[in-house]
Amino acid sequence: MGKTDTGDSTRMAGLAKRNRRTFIGEAAGGVIATLAASKAAAETLADVPPRMMGAPVSGRSERSSFAELSRIPESTAGKRNVAAADAINSKTPLQSLVGTITPSDLHYERSHAGVPDLDPAKHRLLIHGMAARPTVLRVADLRAMPSFSRIMFLECSGNGWENWKAADPSLTVQNMYGMLSTHEWTGVPLRALLDMVGRTADARWMLAEGGDGSGMARSIPLTDEILDESMVAYAQNGESLRPAHGFPLRLLVPGFEGNMSVKWLRRLKLGDQPFMTRWETARYTGLMPDGRARQFHLRQDVNSVITNPSGMMHIEPGYHRVSGIAWSGHGKIEKVEFSADGGLTWRRAQLNAPVLAKAQTRFEVDWEWDGSPAKILSRSTDEKGNIQPDRKTLVGELGTNAVFHYNAQQTWAVDRQGRVTNVLA
């Protein structure tokens, strides 16, 4: 699936040249460096730091002391870096990550009433309602069943909400889009569990309830797509779920708003209509321009954002390998286009393998910045033909009071000094 565009060899040659210049520049400095550069026919082992003795091998490896990676905990009012006790969500450092998989400790977190520490030996999952054989399952029962794994993104429907009304120029991509992460999850197919309890033919809805203090409960429509793709998960990236992400059990509904993937899952109840919990009558609704509220806007739409360069970064004129992520709750990403002139002209970005349905897809594109003010943005299209809207189109449809499901193209402005900032368009 990995495509290479034709600029590759020129780009690599350019890169080699530039690296030589920087390296020697740092070592010798100024005029001498330029002289040395013109003389250097080859680079040798003398240019490479010597070997080094290592620390003892440990039971669990830690990140390099040179790698600084952390999430940003936020409180209700969007106040950042708050005390842990005040935080309601914590955002993934998208600007520092490469590829498509989010490290387990950096998966964004949204917990409405803190993180319960549930004992897996005592935890139970009840499946009941319109079912012939209501059943209470232990975690061990689920772990003994046929499982499957799936790489999928999880995104809070509030992701991107900061830009509905105005653009705060101090925001980073982590502040704005950090409630998006991609993991490999493992669990039991939802359909198998509902077959097991004898779901009745007219049970088209399912209530999923969490075991935390928030009383989280959502109505899930039992479409074929959701029945085929959802799971009751017990593991993330090869290990048991972490408490923050629902240990010991959570529901996962690929492609739909993160809120439906109920953590600390304790109950699934089958019914023939939605259960109308407060999470779907008040909280996760969208206020429309005509004053009515939209309910059950459940799918995460086609989206993309440039992560490098992005908000609050500083860049130099010259070559840039622009990088970003695209994702869609409808399926695979088909293409990503890049514009450096505010959306007037577009060209295609490279999609890096793997390109998976309902997972983050990495894109890259060459950009030579000439030092004049620019507006860079990306636009994704998924395999169902959905195109990421520009802001005007999105706001024209949904107004500016919606809060959830903001998926407009994200523009980063670059000024003459190379400062990158969030702007509306």
Ligand X SMILES: Nc1nc2c(c(=O)[nH]1)N[C@H]1C(S)=C(S)[C@@H](COP(=O)(O)O)O[C@H]1N2
Structure tokens at 393: 């189109």
Decide if 363 contacts 327 (C-beta within 8 A). Answer: no
Compute the least distance from the CB of residue 121 to ligand X, in Å: 20
Q: What SS3 state is found at 381?
A: strand
Q: Is 110 among the residues that bind Mo ion (CB under 5 A)?
A: yes
What is the x/- site pattern for ligand X, positions 233-272, by CB under 6 A? -----------xx------------xx-xxxx--------
Q: What SS3 state is found at 106?
A: helix
Which of 112-120, 222-230, 254-262, 321-329 is the region at the interface with Mo ion (rule: CB under 5 A)?
A: 254-262
> How far is residue 206's CA from residue 150's CA, in Å, rounded to a whole number?
22
Structure tokens at 225: 């797509």
Compute the least distance from the CB of residue 210 to ligand X, in Å: 2
Residues that contact Mo ion, how many (by CB under 5 A): 4
Compute the least distance from the CB of residue 310 to ligand X, in Å: 21
Q: Is 267 among the residues that bind Mo ion (CB under 5 A)?
A: no
Q: Is 156 among the residues that bind ligand X (CB under 6 A)?
A: yes
Which of 189, 248, 258, 389 binds Mo ion (CB under 5 A)? It is 258
- Segment 96 to 115, residues that bind ligand X, using CB under 6 A: 107-112
Q: Which DSSP state fits 36?
A: H
Partner residues linked to 235 by β-bridges: 186, 240
Q: What is the CA radius of gyration of the chain?
A: 24
Compute the least distance from the CB of residue 201 to ligand X, in Å: 29
Decide if 11 contacts 366 (C-beta within 8 A). Answer: yes
Q: Is 259 among the residues that bind Mo ion (CB under 5 A)?
A: yes
Which of 75-83, 108-116, 136-144, 366-374 is the region at the interface with Mo ion (rule: CB under 5 A)?
A: 108-116
> How far is residue 411's CA from residue 420's CA, in Å, rounded to a whole number?
10
Compute the least distance from the CB of residue 376 to Mo ion, in Å: 28
> How far is residue 221's CA from residue 418's CA, in Å, rounded to a whole number?
48
Q: Is 210 among the residues that bind Mo ion (CB under 5 A)?
A: no
Q: For residue 309, which of 415, 388, 156, 382 has the smallest C-alpha distance?
A: 415
Compute the least distance from the CB of residue 411 to ligand X, in Å: 25
Distances (CA, A) of 129 to 135, 269, 366: 10, 5, 55
Nearer to Mo ion, 255 or 258 (CB): 258
Query: E strands along 383-425, which residues?
Result: 411-414, 420-423
Q: Is 404 among the residues that bind ligand X (CB under 6 A)?
A: no
Partner residues linked to 251 by β-bridges: 232
- Segment 344 to 383, residues that bind ligand X, using CB under 6 A: none
Q: Is 87 among the residues that bind ligand X (CB under 6 A)?
A: no
Which of 96-104, 212-220, 309-317, 349-357 is the region at the interface with ligand X (rule: CB under 6 A)?
A: 212-220
Nearest position to Mo ion, beta carbon: 156
Compute the least distance from the CB of residue 260 to ligand X, in Å: 7
Compute the least distance from the CB of residue 334 to ligand X, in Å: 26
Nearest position to ligand X, beta carbon: 210
Compute the least distance from the CB of residue 110 to ligand X, in Å: 4
Q: What SS3 state is found at 425?
A: coil
Query: E strands along 57-165, which residues?
Result: 72-74, 89-91, 109-110, 124-129, 135-138, 148-155
Q: Is 156 among the residues that bind Mo ion (CB under 5 A)?
A: yes
Phi/psi at 218 (nearest 5 deg)?
Answer: -125, 150
Residue 405, contacted partner among ligand X, Mo ion, none, CB below 5-8 A by kind: none
Q: Is 153 among the residues that bind ligand X (CB under 6 A)?
A: no
Helix axes of 8-28 and 30-39: crossing angle, nearest 10 degrees? 130
Decide if 221 contacts 124 (C-beta within 8 A). Answer: no
Note the residues at the interface with Mo ion (CB under 5 A). 110, 156, 258-259
Note the residues at the interface with ligand X (CB under 6 A). 107-112, 154, 156, 210, 212, 214, 216, 244-245, 258-259, 261-264
